[in-house]
Structure 1
Amino acid sequence: MWQKPWGYKEGFAICGGLFLTGTFLQITIGKCELSILSYPMNVCVGVLYLVILLLIYAFSQKSYFIRWMGSCQAAVSSMVSVAMLTVVMGLIRQVKSDVPLLGAESWLGFSQMLSACSFVLLFLWMITLLGLTTIRRIHHFRWCDFPFVLNHLGLFLALTGAILGNADMERLRMTTKTGQAEWRALDENQKMRELPLAIELQDFTIDEYPPKLMLINNETGEALPSKKPENLLIEENFHTGRLLDWEICIEKKIPLAASVATQDTLNFVEFHSMGATYAVYLKAVNNKTGQQREGWVSCGSFMFPYKAIRLDDQTSLVMPEREPRRFASEVKVYTESGRRDSATIEVNKPFELEGWKIYQLSYDESKGRWSDISVFELVRDPWLPVVYTGIWMMIAGAVCLFALSQKRKEDNT
């Protein structure tokens, strides 16, 4: 070992040394705080890092070690080492970086892998090798190296952009109410932040799946059958169905209903206003015993209680809460620059404005479809264009590599 030419043994030895050095630093000074790399510190660090890479490459002719850093053996050993720690990260439950670790768990830092000194040193080693290799190919550029440069430079931009922009990424939670403009949001530490934009909730809508009927155990509340619960979906044309030994026949449906207490029972009437619930009047007949039950069944709402039918001593027929199929918010967004936009925001369909992405997150689940509150997640990552640029460069490099390989095959034939 350590006799020229260096190979994989020396590469893995260097990676092992970096891992041990990182572990020692983790024990003595603690984990790496990437939060310090916020603007403008991350820009300064990025520029300084590029200058250092160029200076290192300038001395490559005088140092065998620097020339070896651009070899395949150095690259493979570094990638394997980082990949091994990545696998460990996937096998160990990760906790937030602001959660303190105690005892042996803090020595290695595997529960906070992205902040562990050993991972940071190995990752820095890998992107340094990547950067030097890219600089060398650019310095001795030939057109046949164009796909190689695109792939490696794109990967370098994506990785460094993700690391340097980590501290600048903002993820906030805003709660809005119908008819009111809101410009304040909570960060991950539950601290209130005032934003350069405001969101006014115009309307909130929910599309729900059809209601269901199911049987439950009166003592445990468990859905029946216990291992594989059955249910009846009350669609528009549904009238009769069967649950276990009970034949269910629906006689009346009221999509928007309110419960009205009479002298000896609970009745449901049409109610086209906030808080209305879904109710059905049905008959249930047991095919084995001939026992019959009839009455109203409803899932209830925040204004009206649910209503079930007790079929026998062990079983009741209930209508669980309706499940949302789609929920969306119609909003107006105002910015400090004077811009005003209207948008419909729903799950997986965010609205983007001046570097902010606004996602539909939640609503007042206690009110369901009548919710007048909508919760949004606002995400801002100013370094995302750098990462996307790197990804598109890698895609372009792959396309160019495929095109050149096809051309070489044609030339050979």
Structure 2
Amino acid sequence: MWNKPWSIKEGLIVGAGLLLTGEMLQLTVGAINWNVFAWPVNAIVLSIFCVLMLIGYRLRDNIYAFRFQSSSSVAVAALLYALTLTVIMGLFIQVGEFQEPVDPIGLTKMLSYWPFMLVYLWVAIIVAQTTIHQVLHFKLYFVPSLLSHIGILLILVCGTLGSADMQRLKMYCEMNQPEWRGLDNRNNIQELPIAVQLDKFIMEQYEGGQMPKRFASEVEIMTKDGKHVQTTIEVNKPFTIGGWTIYQYGYDQEKGPMSRYSIFELVKDPWLSVVYVGIYMMLAGAVLLFIIAQRRKKKRL
């Protein structure tokens, strides 16, 4: 073992070391606090990550461990660990941002769990090294995989660092009264650049009147720059304005159809568009790979 060239065994050992390091950090410093990465810290961290990736690639000819990070063996090992942790994440109900995990390890709060994030950072490093290599040694047949790699990198890096800038607020709107304030997860009042006024609450019920079939709110939305919009917001049909997406969240359940207020959830995620770009690039890469594979198949026939 550790005889060059390194194989998947060495990759699995590296992954195990990351899990052990992560668990030690979890027990000593506690869960990751993503709030410290809010703008402009996340932009600085992202810049440092890019610089370190370029330095690491330049040193790959002199340091074998760096060269190993762009090999298929380490990629397979990293994906095995990432897949396993993702499956574990799916098996445990994840709690909210400011809630304490209900297990002593932290598996119910995986996005703040050090082992989970260190493994995904490892995957990001591997993808970054491969991307740099394909850019610097560009060939036309690299395009599909290059698009996929850049897309994965955008999703992994911007999706995590950008989460610190995401705002999620609840707004309680009483009938015919514009509301400019929302409550965060700690029930702190936040002044907003938009106001929502409930004009009419709508509820359709199943026969028997026990469960709502549909509930929605006819609202007027105002912004401080003078915009005025009338729309209907209902479950799974939000409305977006000024970077904020407004969801129908709840109502006065005691009064049901006669509810005099609606509860809305307002979400602003300035990095979400970058994550979407990453998703589209991954899809484009997958489509191109499929097209190329079909053409090669036809040529063989």
- Cα distance in 2 for partners of 1:23, 1:408 equals 47
Larger Rg: 1
Seen in structure 2, the aligned counterparts of structure 1 residues 336 and 18 have a Cα distance that, compared at 3 Å, is same
Give the distance between the partners of 1:75 and 1:57, measured in 2 at CA: 16
Task: Determine the structure 1 residue equivalent to 2:220.
Answer: 332
Change in 2 beyond 3 A, CA 1:89/1:322: closer
- Unaligned runs of 5+ residues in structure 1 are 212-320
Question: Residue 153 and residue 361 in structure 1: after superposition, are their counterparts in 2 closer, same or farther (change >3 A)?
Answer: same
Alignment pair present for 1:367 and 2:252: no
Aligned residue in 1 for 2:265: 377
| More strand by percentage | 1
1:175 to 167, 172, 184: 172
Does the 8 A contact of 2:79 with 2:123 survive in 1?
Answer: yes
Note the C-alpha offset of 1:409: 2.2
> Which one has a larger percent helix, Structure 1 or Structure 2?
2
The one-letter code of the counterpart of 1:12 is L
1:371 Cα offset (Å) = 1.6
Pair 396,326 (structure 1): closer, same or farther in 2 beyond 3 Å:
same
Per-residue deviation, 1:124: 1.0
Q: Look up the equivalent residue of 2:284 and give its one-letter code.
A: A
**Structure 1 residue 7: deviation in Å?**
0.1
Give the letter aligned to residue 233 of structure 2.
Answer: I
Matched length: 301
| C-alpha distance after superposition, 1:69-127 (max 9, x if no partner) | 1001111101111222222233344334534469xx54x43332222222222111111
Amino acid at match of 1:29: V
Q: 1:114 aligns with which of 107, 111, 130?
A: 111
> For the residues of structure 2 that align with 1:362 and 1:36, how far apart are their CA atoms?
31
Tell me the distance in 1 between the aligned counterparts of 2:171 and 2:241: 16
Secondary structure at 1:205's aligned position in 2? strand
Query: What does residue 199 of structure 1 align with?
Result: 196
Using the alignment, how far apart are the partners of 1:204 and 1:408 within structure 2?
Answer: 58
Matches within 5 A, 1:206-285: 206-211=203-208
- TM-score normalized by structure 2? 0.95
Q: Which ranges of 4 or more aligned residues in structure 1 deviate by more than 4 Å?
A: none
2:241 match: 353
Q: Give the C-alpha shift of residue 178 in structure 1.
A: 1.5
- Aligned residue type for 1:18: L
Q: Return the alpha-carbon distance in structure 1 between the equivalents of residues 21 and 212 of structure 2.
A: 52
Q: Taking structure 1 as reference, are residues 375 and 87 closer, same or farther at Cα in structure 2, changes over 3 Å only? A: same
Q: Which residue of structure 2 aligns with residue 305 of structure 1? A: none
Give the direction of change, closer, same or farther, for the CA distance of 1:92–1:204 in structure 2 (3 Å limit).
Answer: closer
Residue in 2 aligned with 1:309?
none
SS at match of 1:345: strand
Once the two structures are superposed, residues 243-283 of structure 1 have per-residue CA deviations (whole angstroms, 9 ceiling, x without a partner) of xxxxxxxxxxxxxxxxxxxxxxxxxxxxxxxxxxxxxxxxx
Give the counterpart letter for 1:174 in structure 2. M
1:208-235 deviation line (CA, Å, top 9, x unaligned): 2233xxxxxxxxxxxxxxxxxxxxxxxx
Change (3 A) 1:93 1:370: closer
What residue is the counterpart of 2:83 in the other structure? 83
Q: Distance in 2 between matches of 1:192 and 1:157?
A: 33
Q: What's 1:63 paired with? A: 63
State, as a whole percentage, how many aligned pairs show the same letter.
Answer: 43
Q: How does 1:96-175 map to 2 (within 5 A)?
A: 96-100=96-100, 106=104, 108-175=105-172
C-alpha contact (below 8 Å) 2:120/2:156 kept by paired residues: no
CA offset digits 1:23-58 (Å, max 9, x no partner): 222222222212211111111111111111111111
Report the CA distance shift for 1:192/1:402 in structure 2 as closer, same or farther (over 3 A).
same
In the superposition, the TM-score normalised over structure 1's length comes to: 0.70
Q: Secondary structure at the match of 1:155?
A: helix
Q: For structure 2, list consecutive stretches of 5 or more residues without a partner in the other structure.
A: none
Q: Distance in 2 between matches of 1:188 and 1:117?
A: 22
Which residue identity lines up with residue 67 of structure 1 in the other structure? R
CA-atom RMSD in angstroms: 1.7
